[in-house]
Amino acid sequence: MPVRPTNDARPLMVSPAGATGPEVTSQEIGIDDFSDAHRPLYEVKANLFKGVSHPVRVRVLEVLSAAPDDVSVADLIADTGLEASHLSQHLSVLRRHNLVVAERRASQVFYRLAFPEVADLMSVSRALLIKILERTHDQLVSTVSSAEAPTQSLTQMPMPR
């Protein structure tokens, strides 16, 4: 997807993978049936983040990110502690947002990340959260220290008689 200069205020539109220029239209590629084909990229990104907007779905993505192989639904149930029907609903959301892929093997269903970048997303979000928490902690410590400083100096001063 071509990148526009940042000073261009027009929204970047989603284009089909492999489209290299304006000479290729969505009609020629046959993607007009996709709901995101003509939406601004920021809206499509927001929908992607809706897919990870629940703690259970984040946990499932973390488990799949850490697993060397595909993970069975039974293992996901054991890890999350959810009823099968509730986990199924969350897995459905993850599939709908193209974050995971399911594969049936005999009587079991196994899941894996749809793209390795999903694991990167989980890692980056963790690193970002750590930085945010560190900054918040530092601000809190600074606030408490500055609030205590006058109190300490007052307690060290002799009381007037």
The verdict on residue 115 lying in a domain is: yes
Whether residue 12 lies inside any domain: the answer is: no
Residue that wins the pLDDT comparison between 67 and 3? 67
Distance of CA 23 to the CA centre of its chain: 33
Q: Domain of 110?
A: 52-151
Residue at 40 is within a domain: no
Q: What is the band of 6 on the pLDDT scale with cuts at 50, 70, 90?
A: very low
User: For residue 60, is it within any domain?
Assistant: yes
What CATH number does residue 74 fall under? 1.10.10.10
- Any domain includes 123: yes
pLDDT digits (tens, 9 = 90+) for 70-96: 999 999 999 999 999 999 999 999 999
Specify the number of domains making up the chain: 1
Residue at 35 is within a domain: no
DSSP 45-90: HHHHHHHT-SHHHHHHHHHHHH-SS-EEHHHHHHHH---HHHHHHH
Domain annotation covers residue 96: yes
| pLDDT computed for residue 36 by the predictor | 65
Q: Please give the pLDDT value at position 103.
A: 97
Q: Could you tell me if residue 74 is inside a domain?
A: yes
Higher pLDDT, 51 or 12: 51
- 55 band by pLDDT with thresholds 50, 70 and 90: very high
Mean pLDDT of the chain: 80
